[in-house]
Structure 1
């Protein structure tokens, strides 16, 4: 039989971890899947994490080499592995804390990819997650230059061009936590990052692991050292591609800083079929220490939405109307589009500053006062972002502080680099407060017109645009309560929704990168 044509030569790097020393079955299955590939592997490098326990296969040969490894110094171990490798490509399998098993056509598949993409730097693929012996197909997102989040899933099997790795200095030993993030970004600057997708039964490998429910606050719980390293990795990437904004660059003075307004602030509340929440939100506005404010409620469920009737009670002639409280305006639309609702509210507003308030959240009593004072302290501040506590609304209507989540301050923000770091974190904080003149200047909030946007991230693109032209003011004391409840949009989000949301914000990041490159060229 004629030997199959190969477009590249391949080596494989994998782990023999401390847990593998206790139970070798997972590692043995992975090693077998590598050895039994339909295309022959040039060399297998085993990174052994056990100082005293040597696996039975620890016999060095031309095909298999065992190297000692400390996971805290992974870059050094991978670079030593590359010194042992003479092949065109290497597959790094991240099986340190989860069992992995390749399909026996894995190399055959990526070999075609090597043929198709002459400038390939890295290749990753969809996989099956095996939970309780049941496979769940994990479909990953296609790479583009807006994929700047450090927590995006690229899987656990990575094909690298050894030539491409060498051109970026291989793996950086100075990186402790974000090694794959750093390597991926560096490679993406010069080479293609290729993804092989799965429709069904087309995953290239299996991962044996236990999943967990998605928590929208996960990125906030990462250690500060991890966050700082991710910021450094991203910042250096932005510098290399020309998208880095230097401290103080391109800041302007706010428009209409001396104009007259009927109110100092307009609190805009978009809402859809939440009469049971709107009362709490409104009361949090009525209790503000600064009284020269108004409320604009935008009900986007049409006139039949029961929230309309509830809001009417707080207007002149209503049973709960109080002339001594901030006035309540009502806008009704029959299109459930949060960005549209915000824009309609802005058009109705008579205040100088827009203050965010979601219909199921609450403002602290001093929120507006603190926001206005910060704006008044610097005419170049184009947005003020506060800090918030996370609360849980129980089924009996009581509110309980979620103590396991600390006050969300986003204190990773710095005046010098915050707007660059904004490109990799999933949120800027709350509440977000913006001069209405700036919202109008930058053409309002998104209205689900960005690809994949579905009532998500409607102000993220606007926040990035503002940060490119104005200073961002931060309030690190909590002035807002985010309320979680069973009907919330962030409650038990499934993977399809997570992916769609990530697609939306990553596209906005892509646009931001392109804008910032152009800003630096001017």
Structure 2
């Protein structure tokens, strides 16, 4: 193992000392001196080379380093003064990189401040360690392949990052390799930045660093896209009218032992001029320095609510959680720290106005840094203008804070909850909210953040800074994994049309037809493209996974009027003469036109319409339902919505099809969690002595789904139409209706076998569909809803539907257990009359003889 070393040129003396230091290590093969501007006038020993760069951390520099590396490992040193290496320091780093999964290693070190040597421990790297100021120390070693891979991955497209090249490279290394923290003190270096921690932490919002920060944001965006954890801007408006609140706003002040500042904070709230009712909830966390008595001075004021929790283990987050769940908490909960002030009497009004204007889940203001006497401290105004509506929710993972004052929509924050910690609790909930809801920003200072010697983050020890950073990195890691999971969920459910089709002639033909149709029909393409950004939530109902989808485009179906009078008034949109001219037939079979659905639930959503205008009634042409597998790829499931079971065109016979992989019920059915009971079994055996061909069909009752189901599994070559028809005819028929209420969903279990699930229905729509006010949920279940994809066309329905509601809707619309048993009894009574298999068998075979002779050789 040999190492190429890269060091910055500082001055002739310091650089010569650094070269001599590294050349004394036998592992160092080459040393490259990085310089900008004029070529340094320095005499170089053997195996030392000058490498001109534009900036030490730029993308061009990273590319130059990658091209120059000749050894299996490389070392980057970022300081201008030479380090002092501990015993075999580089050997220890190299040892940790012997692991082929390790891409980068860094260690603790000693720092020399004002001539004094002190320990500088660093923290473990997590995948969520996205801060661009993460402290690796100035000496870092790499597996050269890992470094080169990352440089190629991030810059292969020609992207340039003048400031954030190094930051981007280490992010991309972390995707495929481990970044190792060596918990040993392997070197010493002179610390030149002597500012206290309270000053350093605001570098990322300093206007002087704006160009650097924009570059860092771009690098982080590259990483999030590659890691599939980036999210799109939130477009939907949040309903802010939920619940009954006496107060429009409540100011929340958690406090412990702030006798010097608490009365100023309370006075700041009471000075607010607002057009609405507000109060202040002070969570006194068992103060013992006179703070409690200071608060009691306001007890005659009805707006001041003094709360002392029974628990003694609450951090700031726990106090916030306690406060927002109080019955007298207002619709909006607004932050005020116990040692800070509002900058003027309109702060509350501005915050509430922002909520109402933008319908956001959280509002964050701007503040001015000041001392206890309100004199401005550097960097002055903290406005977080790096936040943009386009990318703020992603960039929030990179920056170390979101700003102040923070305010929350109370029903939402009650649902999310605060972690019971005293650092980072606001950042954690801010990330969670930004994932799914818009965050409103106020860019003028409405808050005064007072820094003074008693302030909790004025000047922190390295140990406390590390603890804080480790916790925030853990928050980022959790949030990153959630967003990545949501990204996978969206990709799994709403990927491009061309990606969900498997190889094979049918798949390629359909793919080609869909692509052609999308180019010709803007509406269909737009609605399919929008599927990538629809909100999706996953929930388990009685252990069964369900997907909830917010899809506004589906309002045309969800809200469709399907009564006879309304149907007669409108032209049939499935008839060829009434279709939009842009809508083309993708394929045709036996009088059925295959079309792209312009208002899709899933990518590639197909509508399969009868060419003739005949009612939605599938008992007679049930064979068409099965024959569709001849031209529909095996990656698709075909489904049928009865006229009173989700069909938005009950006057025109049609089926639909979507990719199998998106349907929770199919995944559940094919898992080992399904419980089913055999009701009937038919077999067909012929030419036994020559081919011993064995075909069968089995009818099952599924016993552990949310509503009763029947499933027919059969081999491709067996004629099961009469068996399926017998099942459908055994279901109860409502008065004045021609067909029983049911949904069908069919798919190929494997190349030889098909499954058809029958979802018997008792109701068209649940009672909540037509309910009034808050009780209304506009969910109109079709086959996909009953199969686990609950489609909501309104934001308020998506927000409030939960496990209990889903279970109730599916049970209410499905058949009762009693009705299912009665249907099975009718099936068993009539199967002999309607089953075409038995007549065929009985004329040729004595089944008992064949089973006695061949049963031990046939599958069970």
Output one character per residue of 1:35-82: Cα deviation in whole Å (capped at 9) or x when no partner.
Answer: 111x3322222234462542122x5x4x22233344368544554444
Shift of 1:156: 1.2
Where in structure 1 do 4 or more consecutive aligned residues deviate above 6 Å?
A: none
Shift of 1:306: 1.9
Q: Please tell me whether Structure 1 or Structure 2 has the larger radius of gyration of its CA atoms.
A: 2
Q: 1:416 corresponds to which residue?
A: 390
- 2:381 counterpart SS class: coil
Shift of 1:489: 0.3
Task: Assess if the C-alpha contact under 8 Å between 1:391 and 1:400 holds in 2.
Answer: yes
Q: 1:331 corresponds to which residue?
A: 307
- 1:233 counterpart SS class: helix
Task: Assess if the C-alpha contact under 8 Å between 2:249 and 2:333 holds in 1.
Answer: yes
Task: Go from structure 1 to structure 2 and tell me whether the alpha carbon gap of 1:412 and 1:209 turns closer, same or farther (over 3 Å shift).
Answer: same
1:50 & 1:375 partners in 2: Cα distance? 51
Shift of 1:145: 0.5
Q: 1:344 corresponds to which residue?
A: 322
Q: 2:41 corresponds to which residue?
A: 54
**2:458 equivalent to 1:491:** yes
Task: Assess if the C-alpha contact under 8 Å between 1:331 and 1:344 holds in 2.
Answer: no
2:370 aligns with one of 391, 405, 411: 391
Q: 2:230 corresponds to which residue?
A: 244
Task: Go from structure 1 to structure 2 and tell me whether the alpha carbon gap of 1:77 and 1:336 turns closer, same or farther (over 3 Å shift).
Answer: closer
Unaligned runs of 5+ in 1: 1-7, 394-398, 449-454
2:3 & 2:56 partners in 1: Cα distance? 26
Range with bigger deviation, 28-37 or 40-49: 40-49
- 1:388 counterpart SS class: strand
Shift of 1:335: 4.0
Q: 2:399 corresponds to which residue?
A: 425
1:45 aligns with one of 23, 26, 32: 32
Shift of 1:384: 0.7
Aligned pairs for 1:397-476 within 5 A: 399-402=373-376, 404-442=378-416, 444-448=417-421, 455-476=422-443
Shift of 1:124: 1.4
**2:178 equivalent to 1:192:** yes
Task: Assess if the C-alpha contact under 8 Å between 2:165 and 2:219 holds in 1.
Answer: no
Shift of 1:434: 0.7
Task: Assess if the C-alpha contact under 8 Å between 1:98 and 1:208 holds in 2.
Answer: yes
Q: 2:630 corresponds to which residue?
A: none
Aligned pairs for 1:89-108 within 5 A: 89-95=73-79, 97-103=80-86, 105-108=88-91
Task: Assess if the C-alpha contact under 8 Å between 1:252 and 1:469 holds in 2.
Answer: no
- 1:285 counterpart SS class: helix
Q: 1:451 corresponds to which residue?
A: none
Q: 1:5 corresponds to which residue?
A: none
**2:139 equivalent to 1:147:** no
**Relative contact order (alpha carbons < 8 A, sep ≥ 6): 1 or 2 greater?**
1
Task: Go from structure 1 to structure 2 and tell me whether the alpha carbon gap of 1:30 and 1:457 turns closer, same or farther (over 3 Å shift).
Answer: same
Task: Assess if the C-alpha contact under 8 Å between 2:66 and 2:147 holds in 1.
Answer: no
Unaligned runs of 5+ in 2: 490-860
Output one character per residue of 1:386-439: Cα deviation in whole Å (capped at 9) or x when no partner.
Answer: 11112211xxxxx23315333211111111110100011111111111111111
Shift of 1:158: 1.6
2:15 aligns with one of 21, 27, 36: 27
2:319 & 2:434 partners in 1: Cα distance? 23
Task: Go from structure 1 to structure 2 and tell me whether the alpha carbon gap of 1:180 and 1:101 turns closer, same or farther (over 3 Å shift).
Answer: farther
Output one character per residue of 1:77-111: Cα deviation in whole Å (capped at 9) or x when no partner.
Answer: 5544443432111112113x333233451232122
1:258 & 1:285 partners in 2: Cα distance? 25
Output one character per residue of 1:434-484: Cα deviation in whole Å (capped at 9) or x when no partner.
Answer: 111111111x21103xxxxxx111121111111112110111111111111
1:300 aligns with one of 273, 276, 285: 285
Output one character per residue of 1:178-218: Cα deviation in whole Å (capped at 9) or x when no partner.
Answer: 222111001111111112112xxxx2222123333112433
Task: Go from structure 1 to structure 2 and tell me whether the alpha carbon gap of 1:52 and 1:10 turns closer, same or farther (over 3 Å shift).
Answer: closer
Aligned pairs for 1:59-98 within 5 A: 61=46, 63-71=47-55, 75-95=59-79, 97-98=80-81
2:230 & 2:74 partners in 1: Cα distance? 32
- 1:246 counterpart SS class: coil
Q: 2:295 corresponds to which residue?
A: 311
**What is the TM-score when the length of structure 2 is the normalising length?**
0.53
Task: Go from structure 1 to structure 2 and tell me whether the alpha carbon gap of 1:445 and 1:336 turns closer, same or farther (over 3 Å shift).
Answer: closer
Task: Assess if the C-alpha contact under 8 Å between 1:278 and 1:307 holds in 2.
Answer: yes
1:78 & 1:426 partners in 2: Cα distance? 25
**2:355 equivalent to 1:378:** no
Shift of 1:279: 1.2
**What is the TM-score when the length of structure 1 is the normalising length?**
0.86
1:358 & 1:285 partners in 2: Cα distance? 11
1:80 & 1:519 partners in 2: Cα distance? 37
Task: Go from structure 1 to structure 2 and tell me whether the alpha carbon gap of 1:469 and 1:101 turns closer, same or farther (over 3 Å shift).
Answer: same
1:133 & 1:353 partners in 2: Cα distance? 52
Give the number of the structure whose residues are more often helix, by fraction.
2
Q: 1:478 corresponds to which residue?
A: 445
2:61 & 2:295 partners in 1: Cα distance? 63
- 1:87 counterpart SS class: coil
